[in-house]
Amino acid sequence: MATPAHTVFDSLHSGVAAADVLATDRATPAELAAKQRQRLICLVQAALQHSPLYRQRLHGVSPATVRLDTLPVVTKGELMQRFDEWVCDPQLKLAELRAFTADPLRIAEPYLGKYVVWESSGTSGQPGVFVQDARAMATYDALEALRRSVPQPLKRWLDPMYLSERIAFVGATTGHFASYVSIQRLCQLNPWVAQVMRSLSILQSTASLIEALDAYAPTIISTYPTVAALLADEAARGALRHRPNEVWTGGETLSPGVRKWVEKSLHCAVRNSYGASEFLTIGWECGQGHMHANTDWLILEPVDEKFRSVRPGQECHTTLLTNLVNTVQPLIRYDLGDQVSFGRQRCACGSPLPVIEVAGRHDDALTMLDQHGRPVTLLPLALTTVLEDQAAVFEFQLRQLDGHTLELSLPQSGAEATSMMVRCRHVLQGLAHQHGLAPIKLIGKCGVTLPRGRSGKVQRVVAAHPAGALAGRGPQM
């Protein structure tokens, strides 16, 4: 097959990665552990050879005898501060990458002709920048395509390429975010994907989003749990008429209550996945409804406050990620900030991959009231996207006080904070206006120490009421 020159793709790596993922699905736990071990050795070798930062951090470590639990923990702040020494290709410079990700016209464009680049949101300071080569993308593609349980197996067998589907991605489409970059890349790579896929921005008003969904009538909606809950609300009140067959969720924690509500109201199957900018597909759901971690290509270590490992099933403070895919920008014992716990037993579906449960990403949807007292939902993803992307503010807490009032706290003070607050007011009022809310009341507080949750992450968007209290929907979170 001819490969478009303007995408990061290697057909040889893709074939090898796909065959390997399929073989692992039938492996024994011992074979899985051996693969993981071999890949860890290769990763440590690459890091020692090509990353000045890791050469310093892993001084004296021998790849062949490496013991992961003795290696130092790394954080996003430290790695981003020393980005140019962290990466294994000296051509990669943070200043140039920041200029690239600042340009929305370059989303999914191959960087230096050979890398896929995306940025993470700035839950702890400045956004992270992540660079992957064709080999890493081939592995992510294979994990994403081959490890997803399907609600209608016969239909998928007859139509493995999803050609008869219409897929709507509803998310942040204004920046170089991992999910949107991946979708844009897939569309460039496969003309048939572009035919069956449409991306819809969550920044538009709920009314126009509903109109677009009713017009496109997607069979599959891929989105965030808070967006899926909003669509379920809109379906329940009769505004959204279309019903998809499947809703795929990811990016935030999906609670059992929201899952049930979406299944019931949209009358569809829900499939959840767990990914991060640091590793695109960490976990996927099997037919038994369990989340399996792709431990052939990553290592997760649930740890306590002092980064000591916790026993299976025990609550952890955070989770360390070792990414065995990416050797351009090694992540070894990286503090992911999510709370992952491992199940003790092997899943009845037969997969050798362990079952995990994930917590840790909770931002609330805000139910505001318009001038007629009607509820209007502002999605957390829309709020954080405009504050990060349009106001360039990354550390904040937006707290709802009532149906018309929000309080925005920033850690900065002085003139810097004043100008940040002006930008925040401007973008938040713009978003409120777009959603048909009369000017909202916005109280600004500067020089605030942002309250951090157990995981160390700030909950950035906090609702005044339990979800649905204003909208009259039953308790569900």
- Residue 285 CB, nearest distance to Zn ion (Å)? 8
Mask 295-334, x = binds Zn ion (CB under 5 A)?
A: ----------------------------------------
Based on CB atoms, which residue is closest to Zn ion, 286 or 393?
286
- Residue 24 CB, nearest distance to Zn ion (Å)? 14
- Residue 272 CB, nearest distance to Zn ion (Å)? 13
Spatial contact of 457 and 318, defined as CB atoms under 8 Å apart? no
Q: With CB under 5 A, what is the number of residues at the site for Zn ion?
A: 5
- Residue 288 CB, nearest distance to Zn ion (Å)? 4
Among 290, 333, 362, 457, binds Zn ion (CB under 5 A): 290
- Residue 368 CB, nearest distance to Zn ion (Å)? 40
Based on CB atoms, which residue is closest to Zn ion, 8 or 286?
286
Which tokens in the block code for residue 375?
């509820």
β-strand partners of 132: 116
Subset of 57-86 contacting Zn ion (CB under 5 A):
none
Among 17, 136, 172, 286, binds Zn ion (CB under 5 A): 286
Based on CB atoms, which residue is closest to Zn ion, 35 or 290?
290
Among 33, 80, 236, 349, binds Zn ion (CB under 5 A): 349
Q: Does 458 bind Zn ion (CB under 5 A)?
A: no
- Residue 275 CB, nearest distance to Zn ion (Å)? 18
Read off φ and ψ for residue 405, nearest 5 degrees: -125, 135
The count of other CB atoms within 10 Å of the CB of residue 1 is: 6
Report the amino acid identity of residue 125.
Answer: G
Report the amino acid identity of residue 10.
Answer: D
Based on CB atoms, which residue is closest to Zn ion, 63 or 343?
343
- Residue 347 CB, nearest distance to Zn ion (Å)? 3
- Residue 289 CB, nearest distance to Zn ion (Å)? 8
Report how far apart, in Å, the C-alpha atoms of 392 and of each of 145, 179, 208, 366, 425 are: 34, 20, 26, 21, 12
Q: Does 293 bind Zn ion (CB under 5 A)?
A: no
The count of other CB atoms within 10 Å of the CB of residue 2 is: 5
Report how far apart, in Å, the C-alpha atoms of 435 and of each of 187, 235, 382, 400, 405 are: 30, 18, 11, 16, 15
Nearest partner of 335 among 384, 300, 377, 370, judged by Cα: 300
- Residue 292 CB, nearest distance to Zn ion (Å)? 6
Spatial contact of 122 and 321, defined as CB atoms under 8 Å apart? no
- Judged by CB under 5 A, the stretch of 36-44, 242-250, 263-271, 285-293 that binds Zn ion is 285-293
Among 200, 203, 347, 421, binds Zn ion (CB under 5 A): 347
Got the DSSP string for 268-299?
SEEEEEEEETTEEEEEEE-TTS-EEE-TTTEE
- Per the listing, tokens 């956004």 go with 127
Based on CB atoms, which residue is closest to Zn ion, 79 or 291?
291
- Judged by CB under 5 A, the stretch of 94-102, 282-290, 357-365, 399-407 that binds Zn ion is 282-290
- Judged by CB under 5 A, the stretch of 39-47, 183-191, 347-355, 460-468 that binds Zn ion is 347-355
Chain-centroid distance, C-alpha 310: 25
Spatial contact of 368 and 404, defined as CB atoms under 8 Å apart? yes
- Residue 224 CB, nearest distance to Zn ion (Å)? 23
Q: Does 288 bind Zn ion (CB under 5 A)?
A: yes
Based on CB atoms, which residue is closest to Zn ion, 25 or 85?
25
Based on CB atoms, which residue is closest to Zn ion, 125 or 289?
289
Chain-centroid distance, C-alpha 35: 26
Based on CB atoms, which residue is closest to Zn ion, 290 or 473?
290
Based on CB atoms, which residue is closest to Zn ion, 185 or 290?
290
Based on CB atoms, which residue is closest to Zn ion, 171 or 354?
354
Nearest partner of 212 among 227, 199, 223, judged by Cα: 199
Distance CA 360, CA 357 (A): 10
Distance CA 300, CA 117 (A): 23
- Residue 395 CB, nearest distance to Zn ion (Å)? 38
- Judged by CB under 5 A, the stretch of 56-64, 165-173, 342-350, 464-472 that binds Zn ion is 342-350
In degrees, rounded to 5, the angle at the alpha carbon of residue 151 between the alpha carbons of residues 148 and 153 is: 85
Based on CB atoms, which residue is closest to Zn ion, 25 or 165?
25
- Judged by CB under 5 A, the stretch of 126-134, 191-199, 228-236, 279-287 that binds Zn ion is 279-287
Based on CB atoms, which residue is closest to Zn ion, 235 or 291?
291
Got the DSSP string for 94-121?
HHHHHHHHT-GGGTTPPBTTTBEEEE--
Start-to-end Cα distance in the chain:
47
- Judged by CB under 5 A, the stretch of 226-234, 289-297, 408-416, 446-454 that binds Zn ion is 289-297
**Alpha helix (H) residue ranges in 150-255:** 153-158, 178-189, 191-196, 206-216, 225-236
Binding site for Zn ion (CB under 5 A): 286, 288, 290, 347, 349
